[in-house]
Structure 1
């Protein structure tokens, strides 16, 4: 490569990168403003929990989003790319216990550090829109949302079971129960019934399910996970009767055709009938220890089809309303409160779990559906029969095909007022109560008679008391703070007690994307006009682990906001991308595994552009990326090579004028074509395919091509080189923004590359004068020929037969067939 004798300037990211970060900040380069004259683009990565430090496993998620944001900025869109903090939750409270520091102080310190790290990575966030869920200015509106949902009948209180650590005397989240024991103390976890607040998400089940069909920009596996979680099932409710009390015990089943085969009933260990009827009965002392043990089992164990089924007979019986059979009432670990009513009519002959349970506990098996080919004998069955057949032992429905019996038995249930056809959802109402300090206080209070009074909107926010002792014992710190709990009812003027539960942090994160559209708005939850401009989020980026909870809750709350009339959209995210995780030493990069790579260390050694480039180039973004130090080195070398190419070629472009495309030589046309092919590839890979790794590969190929050029250069070549260098700087801008801005400046531009406009590929430049065609003889590669683009089969065959190597394999033989793929391949079949 000709350097024209000039001494090259060194590539120094430690000098370049802070300078450009300061420049972007001074210029307010990433400020988002509504502009009806430009297309808008709202890009959002799932906002992080401020844990203190980000590692390269986190960086990938945010850099993926940053690439698209910068791409859209360069295209001229009005881009909203905000960042904030999902700041409430258990880790801060645990830190307060372990470090003797207030959760707010720990949180603010962590936010400061992570914000510094984001800045060093060159992230294009509009920090003027920064928000944090722990700030009263934010959670006042979360409390407002709770009040509105209560008015709509969507927030309600009822008794529910919680995980209780008897040593720490506190409630544990499900994630903190490990093999039935508390994560901190190792004590066996108990189930206790407490009054809890719920959101009635089940009222939205049908809308949440139906509207999945509108989410064409979501990965199908995420859509399917939500379908499965909502879990719509058509079936029947059948009302059994508890023999001892006469009360109704409803069950839901998708197989009412098997009701005559019920030989026992299974209750989920959490079923309320257990505490109401069984525990205080004469059987309680015998069965409750076993039930308590089942309650501590994880859902994974209880749902494992291969795991041993466990249960205990309660001593009670229920009556089948179809045939009057008296069947024993059991508690079984495979029965779940999350499905149906938590009571299961057990039909061992026609359900495999029931069959295994019946064989273990020597319970009857009664066949009520016979296959047409080979009659079943319950005594010799080795597994349940779950296919179709004909009804037997089914009273008036004998002889009917079981598919007909499903409808007929359902009609019979409704006609006799002992059940009805119904739709069941696996989805359960959202339990939002948490017995923790570091969450949004629920804005209600209780009168002396136990009635609920809502905190008036004008009194929001209900803020955390500052002087709270964090010991890790004695339950919720808020409940011990008399100054917080004692209050005066706005309704009666009498003494009342404030609710001490706080909200699930998923509530905070279920609407933050709406608040980002107007984070300083004080007249409402957000500015409806601003939200109308920016929403929905055009591209949301985050991990697949959020497929159900966060993404489902966000969809639910968005629909609630729509129904409240404050939002004009009822789906929050138009497109969703779920990136793969970063692994190292065979495991997911995480602090707990001790295998994290800190971006600060990487930036100190290689620069932020290298860190960004590796996280984008090493694997397709939807797949896992295995950390590789050699790959980091390779990306760093590429940036040095890029720098040297500019050092070498820039002097030849200083006086470059426009070129005349009609006067270009073949070599010049090829240089021009290479530039525009790269523009086309990078543009397509970013916008349509999300294939950032192949986009970067295209720029690397372009650098290699330019590196091989040597002067002296004609006027046309100088102009073409300038076009190539300007395109290269802009194409790399989203991926390696610091070096790209520096190179853009060296090209003589004073305005940021973000305002330069994205290059367009010229269709005329993409056209090829000649193509190379692969020639096969009987399917084996025998040569390559160059032909004018669009040559026909006759010309291609003639040129192939004139090739010396092809001739050696065709001489003396007859061409029996020609297979021609224009501009690509010619296969001669000879014999």
Structure 2
């Protein structure tokens, strides 16, 4: 049972101190907290053994939740494990401190966002200390600090220098409430902002972009090198980049001087089945046609509310296309406007082949149902008449286009031949296209890194000279209200051109916060550098990050942008000498979410607060108002569901070690953790047992480093082997599988093994003590204060050669060295005797031992021994 706080106070008054047999995990945590926060004192650390263990740095929202606690417990346990194994570990922490939430919170509270952010950082740092996280605080970075965003601006200017940062007019998602641009990923399926809930507007604005598409091929290709990343993350990135190999095909327009429509297709072998061209609603030809076509204008307005997979279309009667490979006598190709065509993919135009594409088939049946389809790819060994079901979407087959040069050709051969024919006619070419678009980084808000560009009427857009960095945000005590931006701050906007000296205006957009987080792991390697973002030599020694842990929600954007910036920096600097592909993260682990116990009224479906229910016999709950049992589910923690958990309260109640171990024990890292604080009693019981075992063993402490196998009994050898197997399992879980939940269960098994051996009195105290030391040291990464307490108890004032901070090396499993000797008397085998192989080396001693044994007394007592023969495993007595 866990002793309550009031009970502890009573025990102290009664005894003057806590009774020695009691264990208070909270007090143990406080006793060793400062030492544990400094981390283990590790000796013999070498330059050759390095580990960079990184957790995705948090946004300083004001307080940590259980999800934070989970990821930082994982990285801290691994950090301590590798330090105990002699590694030089880089385990830093910082703050992703810019962004809209801080700005909105500051507006609501009428304070400056810098003040709000610093308050939150102080609170969260205190919480990290409470959970005993051993971070390299001397490497701390804060993205809203001028010392940091100075170099974010410098990286921007380096991108600008290489033509990878540019400004252009673009249609964007505009949040009318938060008054800023939103990425496509920040707009839900209903067209609303992910944060404010406002219906998003489409606007055209001049925006800053980064040329990530220049790296699209390497970003896609190098995914195959990331064999220690989760496959689902690589698949998401691959689909987001969307590299497609295909052919650009040009369809001339029938109207004189009207130009042509260029489409991209990955299946050029179906070109003879083209029965229409479909254009995106934002295609330039569509926008031009809408100026003189009221029906089209109405359709485009209607299309804004249609889903992307809509089968509706609008036929452009004023535009017709010609087939690039068929004679002019063939029928012209109609042109539709179709919402299913993406303006951001290819050229915003597709060739419609209803006979060979399911989406085109659905569109065609809705818009031109009476016109027969034109199949020109048929399965091999089948006649055209055998093609009974359309569309035929198979990629293998033969071309069925009588009169063409490709009739009867295998589709794979035909694909290349048709592409060549189009190129020879100037009507197409092989090409690669991507779904990935250049990265829009402009944000029209105050709380972000200013874009270091000055606009001059004479010189155009001029980069801020390096010596003038950082371009600082104005110091503000509070923000006026929604829509706060640098545009309204004239003292910031008005400046002089660094090129000609004329009056000029600063760029008032700030950078997307993903820009801040795209390179922070570099800064950790060299955080005090005042001249460069980081020294390339220093970065080369530490990168790539050996283990990166964070949420699956960052699987695409953050990781993709970080890979892009890393590859860019590798291409212009020297850190890429170590890893030429510029990939920054070697191993990626995406931890599961934490769900909380959610109580629901079965009649109304209303979420219940904890004080609305009460417990009855056992673990059953009832609703106070109705007497009914509530429905219980585990769902994502949120204030509206009253299912959150306070990490601080958990640590204050149970101690940091029990909280850390419980978090890891409840679920594998990658799976959802259903948080149930009530189950922590099992972990507490185990930790109490460890301390009590240590106290008992301290009385008989013996500093012996080896088990003396020749004198060991079978019980001792079996015990020794079980200890080594568990140690190997624990070590494997830290180094290979990262099954930290099974590490805790192995600790419990090892504790029970030692406890049972202690009670059995079959195992010598030397071996028991050595095994207990193995347990205590191996526990240190996860439960460091209990390990420190146990070490202090067992070692007393002297360490006796035992170093808590050296990971125990598993020894080879030992086979039993005992032999069953057959004892033969006058030619008949009477009994066996279990002894070491050296037993028969001393004949007199062996005979004496046998005569004094129980069986010896039975068969040899009172007999006159004439002769004793000892050979191999047989001891033969000749008696009267």
Please classify the TM superposition score into its range, dividing by the shorter chain length.
0.7 to 0.9
Partner of 2:734: 686
Q: Distance in 1 between matches of 2:557 and 2:476?
A: 33
Q: Distance in 1 between matches of 2:574 and 2:642?
A: 46
Q: Secondary structure at the match of 1:708?
A: helix
Pair 1:486 & 2:494 matched: yes
1:190-339 to structure 2, matched below 5 A, reads: 190-242=201-253, 246-275=258-287, 277-279=288-290, 281-283=291-293, 285-288=294-297, 290-292=299-301, 294-295=303-304, 301-302=307-308, 308-314=310-316, 316-320=318-322, 321-323=324-326, 326-339=332-345
Superposed displacement of residue 495, structure 1:
1.7
1:627-679 superposed Cα distances (whole Å, 9 cap, x missing partner): 22342222222212222222232222267686523211222223322322221
Partner of 2:407: 398
Pair 1:158 & 2:168 matched: yes
1:125-204 to structure 2, matched below 5 A, reads: 125-166=135-176, 170-178=180-188, 179-182=190-193, 188-204=199-215
Q: Distance in 2 between matches of 1:33 and 1:725?
A: 22
Instruction: Label 1:36 to 1:407 Cα distance change in 2 as closer, same or farther (>3 A).
Output: same
Instruction: Label 1:311 to 1:744 Cα distance change in 2 as closer, same or farther (>3 A).
Output: farther
Superposed displacement of residue 713, structure 1:
5.9
Q: Distance in 1 between matches of 2:90 and 2:268?
A: 53
Pair 1:467 & 2:476 matched: yes
Is the contact between residue 698 and residue 795 of structure 2 (CA under 8 Å) also seen in structure 1?
no
Partner of 1:515: 523
Could you tell me which of 488, 509, 519 is aligned with 1:501? Answer: 509
Superposed displacement of residue 228, structure 1:
2.8
Superposed displacement of residue 235, structure 1:
1.0
Instruction: Label 1:126 to 1:759 Cα distance change in 2 as closer, same or farther (>3 A).
Output: same
Partner of 2:362: 356
Partner of 2:644: 596
Superposed displacement of residue 741, structure 1:
1.5
Q: Secondary structure at the match of 2:470?
A: coil
Partner of 2:806: 757
Q: Distance in 2 between matches of 1:657 and 1:34?
A: 20
Q: Distance in 2 between matches of 1:154 and 1:537?
A: 25
Could you tell me which of 449, 452, 456 is aligned with 1:440? Answer: 449
Q: Secondary structure at the match of 2:540?
A: helix
Partner of 1:418: 427
Q: Distance in 2 between matches of 1:74 and 1:465?
A: 47
Q: Distance in 1 between matches of 2:386 and 2:476?
A: 71
Instruction: Label 1:344 to 1:513 Cα distance change in 2 as closer, same or farther (>3 A).
Output: same
Superposed displacement of residue 226, structure 1:
2.5
1:540-689 to structure 2, matched below 5 A, reads: 540-568=548-576, 569=579, 570-584=582-596, 585-591=633-639, 593-653=641-701, 659-689=707-737
Is the contact between residue 267 and residue 344 of structure 1 (CA under 8 Å) also seen in structure 2?
yes
Q: Distance in 2 between matches of 1:770 and 1:228?
A: 63
Superposed displacement of residue 137, structure 1:
0.8
Q: Distance in 2 between matches of 1:443 and 1:32?
A: 44
Superposed displacement of residue 466, structure 1:
2.6
Q: Secondary structure at the match of 1:747?
A: helix
Superposed displacement of residue 385, structure 1:
4.3
1:536-569 superposed Cα distances (whole Å, 9 cap, x missing partner): 1111112223222222221211111111114234
Is the contact between residue 470 and residue 477 of structure 1 (CA under 8 Å) also seen in structure 2?
no
Is the contact between residue 537 and residue 574 of structure 2 (CA under 8 Å) also seen in structure 1?
no
Partner of 1:724: 771
Partner of 1:71: 81
Instruction: Label 1:552 to 1:362 Cα distance change in 2 as closer, same or farther (>3 A).
Output: same
Q: Secondary structure at the match of 1:542?
A: strand
Q: Distance in 1 between matches of 2:541 and 2:358?
A: 54
Q: Distance in 1 between matches of 2:803 and 2:468?
A: 45
Q: Distance in 1 between matches of 2:536 and 2:44?
A: 13
Superposed displacement of residue 377, structure 1:
10
Q: Distance in 1 between matches of 2:788 and 2:750?
A: 18
Q: Distance in 2 between matches of 1:152 and 1:93?
A: 32
Superposed displacement of residue 575, structure 1:
1.5
Is the contact between residue 162 and residue 171 of structure 1 (CA under 8 Å) also seen in structure 2?
yes
Instruction: Label 1:531 to 1:482 Cα distance change in 2 as closer, same or farther (>3 A).
Output: same
Instruction: Label 1:64 to 1:165 Cα distance change in 2 as closer, same or farther (>3 A).
Output: closer
Q: Secondary structure at the match of 2:748?
A: helix
1:378-397 to structure 2, matched below 5 A, reads: 383=391, 385-393=393-401, 395-397=404-406
Instruction: Label 1:270 to 1:483 Cα distance change in 2 as closer, same or farther (>3 A).
Output: farther
Per mean C-alpha deviation after superposition, the further-off stretch among 518-527 and 247-256 is: 247-256
1:111-167 superposed Cα distances (whole Å, 9 cap, x missing partner): 111111111111110111110111111111111011111111111222221112456
Q: Secondary structure at the match of 2:235?
A: helix
Per mean C-alpha deviation after superposition, the further-off stretch among 594-603 and 659-668 is: 659-668
Superposed displacement of residue 620, structure 1:
1.6
Q: List runs of 5+ in structure 1 lacking aligned partners.
A: 1-5, 772-786, 789-831
Is the contact between residue 733 and residue 753 of structure 1 (CA under 8 Å) also seen in structure 2?
no
Superposed displacement of residue 604, structure 1:
1.4
Instruction: Label 1:175 to 1:640 Cα distance change in 2 as closer, same or farther (>3 A).
Output: same
Could you tell me which of 729, 733, 736 is aligned with 2:783? Answer: 736
Superposed displacement of residue 60, structure 1:
1.4
RMSD over aligned CA atoms reads 3.1
Partner of 1:822: none
1:170-216 superposed Cα distances (whole Å, 9 cap, x missing partner): 43444553412346776543211212222212221222233223223
1:765-818 superposed Cα distances (whole Å, 9 cap, x missing partner): 4x46799xxxxxxxxxxxxxxx99xxxxxxxxxxxxxxxxxxxxxxxxxxxxxx
Instruction: Label 1:278 to 1:106 Cα distance change in 2 as closer, same or farther (>3 A).
Output: farther
Q: Secondary structure at the match of 1:350?
A: coil
Pair 1:347 & 2:353 matched: yes
1:392-441 superposed Cα distances (whole Å, 9 cap, x missing partner): 45744334333332111100111011110112223222222222222211
Q: List runs of 5+ in structure 2 lacking aligned partners.
A: 1-17, 597-632, 820-833, 836-880
Q: Secondary structure at the match of 1:763?
A: coil
Partner of 1:777: none
Superposed displacement of residue 223, structure 1:
2.6
Q: Secondary structure at the match of 2:575?
A: coil
Instruction: Label 1:466 to 1:248 Cα distance change in 2 as closer, same or farther (>3 A).
Output: farther
Tell me the TM-score normalised to structure 2 length: 0.79
Instruction: Label 1:668 to 1:729 Cα distance change in 2 as closer, same or farther (>3 A).
Output: same
Could you tell me which of 524, 529, 536 is aligned with 2:537? Answer: 529
Q: Distance in 1 between matches of 2:481 and 2:80?
A: 45
1:339-387 superposed Cα distances (whole Å, 9 cap, x missing partner): 3222212222211111111212226543332345363699x96645445
Is the contact between residue 348 and residue 356 of structure 1 (CA under 8 Å) also seen in structure 2?
yes
Q: Secondary structure at the match of 1:345?
A: strand
Q: Distance in 2 between matches of 1:92 and 1:7?
A: 49
Per mean C-alpha deviation after superposition, the further-off stretch among 655-664 and 612-621 is: 655-664
